């Protein structure tokens, strides 16, 4: 079963074998309100732990999403770029 951990900045990371999936917590989503824009990193990009690697923008504010660990982006969920409400 995948293991999920949470950061102090309201991101989560879920490990499933050698693959790690990252997202924002329900608390962060609720605090932001309705999302209107999402900017994700390009697959193949290397990120360092603590680096801003994505942006989520709502009607209230824009917020960086920080990489909870160092690594290389293997894939992104392109559907949320087209429809941020899916987050």
Encode pLDDT of 24-63 as tens digits.
999 999 999 999 999 999 999 999 999 999 999 999 899 9
Domain span holding position 19 = 3-86
Indicate whether 1 pLDDT > 80: no
CB neighbour class for 29 (10 Å; exposed up to 12, middle 13-18, buried from 19): middle
Q: The whole model's pTM is what?
A: 0.83
Average pLDDT over the chain reads 92
* CATH number of the CATH domain containing 69: 2.40.50.100
Q: What is the total count of domains within the chain?
A: 1
């Amino acid at each position: 079963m995948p293991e999920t951990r949470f950061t102090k900045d309201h991101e989560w990371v879920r490990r499933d074998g050698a693959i790690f999936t990252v997202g924002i917590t329900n608390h962060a989503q609720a605090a932001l309100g309705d999302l209107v824009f999402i900017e994700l990193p390009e697959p193949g990009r290397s990120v360092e732990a603590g680096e801003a690697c994505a942006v989520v923008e709502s009607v209230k504010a824009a917020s960086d999403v920080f990489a909870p660990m160092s690594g290389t982006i293997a894939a992104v969920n392109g559907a949320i770029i087209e429809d941020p409400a899916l987050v």
